[in-house]
Structure 1
Amino acid sequence: MKPNVRLLRKSRQYSVEFKKQIVADFESGEFSINQLSKLHGIANQVIYRWIYKFSTFNEKGFRVVEMKDSSNKKMQELESKNKELEAALGRKQIQLDYLEKMIELAKSELDIDIKKNYSTPQSTGSGKTKKK
């Protein structure tokens, strides 16, 4: 027989500062309710309760409704920005490959060493030379 064991209910206590920080993150638009819930492992209902309690914008009698379209729109904007940056990076990489190929061709066909070697001494140029 199994001993009479009761399951203990685990509950977490959060500080007021933490709750206010979560509400501030939501109000700043940086995070959505779902993102905060997943990030901190807190139920959506708890975060809504904190918003009703600690929000600076919330008035009594009004309900906070987060539009899913706004978070989807934000995600689409970030994805388009990401694609734009990847395309710019691709163009720069093509330009870099082209310039390196030109340097290689200048060295092999024209015997011009465009790249500086670190081991070669620096030329004196047109400056005055010291007499020995």
Structure 2
Amino acid sequence: MPNWLSSYGPVLLRRHVRNSKYDPLVDEVELLEANPRYAHVRFPDARQSTVSLRDLAPAGQAVPDTADPEPEPTELPKASTSVPLEPTPGTPGAESPVRDDLSSDARLHEAVLTDSPSLPRRSGRVRRKPDFYGFPDV
């Protein structure tokens, strides 16, 4: 048996039935005596009852919080200052760099975005009629 069950005094008793979600989860009761399975307790209103040891906890100790703890903030890697900054498009003397690793469609899309930023962005999806199984195109 745990050491705190051998001494008389206040303990916490789990409350099985609560009238609302704002009622406390436990009640503080006085431990009168205990055996390896059950304990005799006195409630604050002078009622006495026998309860299971599974429903008791020592009073005065911190109960671990079941909510997830907040993650500790981690430092982001600092940006390297050795990378030269390119001039922004639209400023006088700024040339848009041509990238060879892009396909022709991507270069065209990039050119449209850099030349006229006021145009709305359009979807690149190709639209076509649905294919119906077993029917000729109509």
Give the TM-score band, short-chain normalised.
Answer: under 0.3
Which structure is higher in helix share?
1
> TM-score when scaled to structure 1?
0.25
> TM-score when scaled to structure 2?
0.24
Which structure is higher in strand share?
2
